[in-house]
Chain A
């Protein structure tokens, strides 16, 4: 238990569906992240929020839409996804987005797009 929770843990959705992933951190951190993890590939950083402000958007397709209503909650809204978007989506938090602070990860949402 790392203090970062994610729901749902598993999600199967069709290409025309709209769904949202939720992340919550109970660590009092100021930075939150969305990562995509595909088999045998490095973690891909998707979005970074620092003090609720988006600071990074690594050329992520617009079918992924993040939302950070406060420093404890992070959402990833999904719509019209493609089969290649099937992956493990990890949320993480850290004290801040720079410096030496390590990131704490949630258990991830295993997404399958059919």
Chain B
């Protein structure tokens, strides 16, 4: 079966750096997405990786290793507003998005 694994919850301190990991086992691979979802709100797109390596976008970076079935989202200079759930999703060989259950990130002052 197809599976996306990510930690259920993480806690970090304001101003620090946090890395949220995502491992996947899917039938084929056509890209990996990270979304942010604040409580009670819609998921919003953060990043897309289809080739190995690091994609940087301001305070957020996303890394992909296709051979290891692994990605991480790196958040730097954490702010209180970064408290949210972070969803990892992989597009499989049928171009269907397979979603992880999300990682709830709690930022403490």
Q: How far is the CB of B46 from chain A (nearest CB, A)?
A: 9
List chain B residues, Cβ under 8 A from A102: 33, 45, 48
Let me know if A105 and B96 touch, CB within 8 A: no
Q: How far is the CB of B38 from chain A (nearest CB, A)?
A: 11
Band of interface residues on A: 20 to 34
Q: How far is the CB of A34 from chain B (nearest CB, A)?
A: 13
Separation of A90 and B48 alpha carbons in the complex (Å)? 21
List chain B residues, Cβ under 8 A from A107: 41-42
Q: Other than the known A98-B30, A105-B44, A107-B42, what 19 A-B pairs have Cβ atoms closer than 8 Å?
A: A2-B42, A4-B42, A40-B8, A40-B101, A40-B102, A42-B4, A42-B98, A43-B89, A43-B97, A43-B99, A98-B95, A100-B30, A100-B48, A100-B50, A102-B33, A102-B45, A103-B45, A104-B45, A105-B43
On A, residues with C-beta under 8 Å from B are: 2, 4, 40-43, 45, 56, 90, 97-100, 102-108
On B, residues with C-beta under 8 Å from A are: 4, 8, 30-31, 33, 41-45, 48, 50, 87, 89, 95-102
